[in-house]
Amino acid sequence: MPRPGPRSGRAGAWAELLRLPALFTVPGDALAGAAAAGARPGPRTLLAIGSSLCLYEAGMALNDWADRAEDAVERPHRPIPSGRIRPAAALAAACGLTGAGLALAAAAGRPALAVAAPLAGSVWAYDLVLKHTPAGPAAMAAARGLDLLLGAAATSGGARAALPSAALLGSHTLAVTAVSRKETTGGSVLAPLAALATTGVLTRLVGHRRTRLPAGRWAAAAPGLSGSHPAEGTPGARWDVLATALGAAYAATAARPYVHATLNPSPPLTQRAVGGGIRATVPLQAALAARSGAPATSLLIAALAPAGRMFARRAAMRKVSIT
């Protein structure tokens, strides 16, 4: 058995298993979903965030339980193969967190539960069946898109208006997950190159405000309806500037490690590309909220990025993986 490392304490082992620094990428899903639905975040949005956090952590625990034999060979330092956490405990945590996530979604209302149920199903399907199949990245992308729709459904009672934002976030997740499939072996040029191209397309798309805002509090302040460009100095123009700036932050976070992994697809650089893609999720969520005409929400989401980095440094857990 490998000798325990510096994070051998029980709390440290669970923090490592659950990828706690990655939790800061989760609340932005629900907040961006609420923004896309044209609704102010409220108590039901908080319930959706709680549900998202539980289901995300369930996926992390289940991931390591399902991969315990593989990790014993490729990642023996992880909590389960190193003996710091028993497999049964990780599986029990996954079950309990899934139940808690569904309960919180139910408390947010039937529309939220109607989204949370397939979200939980996609998490379990990915970890137990689909992860090592060609459908794996698509399943992960669907889960992230559903997480955004969960915030919309909980906040406004409907998720249709948030479908475009969910598709954009899902596309980013698809690209990152495709790169992550080679993070232990390296050797893939196509995956980081495709992720780089995806980043460029998404940066272009999130920099332009939606031409049709959902009915609600933003409708009266939307002079750019029917595809017209907002006049300089109007709220729409300011939102465009904010969305463009956040889109640039997204590109800056994701693109450079993708370029490095494309030029040298070694395991360390591929792992850095995955980490950069995960960190880029937050500015992308913020850009989506700004694109939907919710500047305050977008700035709140953007603030999660430095908070996550600070937490990771203090917890000595700067390296985060989704696999």
Ramachandran sector of residue 106 (left: φ over 0; alpha: ψ -120 to 50; beta: rest): alpha
> How large is the average pLDDT for residues 40-67?
97
d(CA 112, CA 150): 6
CA distance 18 to 301: 21
Look at residues 3, 129, 116, 128 and name the one whose alpha carbon lies nearest to residue 51. Answer: 116
**Structure confidence at residue 251 (pLDDT):** 96
Confidence of residue 307 (pLDDT cuts 50, 70, 90): confident
Q: How confident is the model at residue 118 (pLDDT cuts 50, 70, 90)?
A: very high
Distance CA(203)–CA(250), nearest Å, equals 7
Q: Which residue is it, tokens 């700036």?
A: 245
Query: Closest Cα partner for 34 from 162, 209, 152, 154?
Result: 152
Could you give phi then psi for residue 131, rounded to 5 degrees? -55, -45
What are residue 266's phi and psi, to 5 degrees? Answer: -80, 160
Distance CA 246, CA 232 (A): 19
Burial status of residue 172 (CB atoms within 10 A of its CB: 0-12, 13-18, 19 or more): buried
Give the residue carrying structure tokens 């800061």. 24
By the 10 Å C-beta count (0-12 exposed, 13-18 middle, 19+ buried), 287 is classed as buried
CB atoms within 10 A of CB 208: 13
Nearest residue to 105 via CA among 123, 128, 130: 123
Rounded CA separation 18/102 (Å): 18
- List the single range of 2-11, 102-111, 172-181 with lowest mean pLDDT: 2-11
Spatial contact of 285 and 301, defined as CB atoms under 8 Å apart: yes
Instruction: Find tokens 């397939």 and name the residue.
Output: 118
User: What percent of the chain is modeled with pLDDT above 70?
Assistant: 85
Is the pLDDT at 246 greater than 90, yes or no?
A: yes
240-269 mean pLDDT: 93
Q: How confident is the model at residue 240 (pLDDT cuts 50, 70, 90)?
A: confident
The 10s digit of each residue's pLDDT in 271-284 is 999 999 999 999 99
- Please report the pLDDT score of residue 213 as a whole number: 44
Q: What is the pLDDT of residues 71-91, one digit of tens each?
A: 998 889 999 999 999 999 999
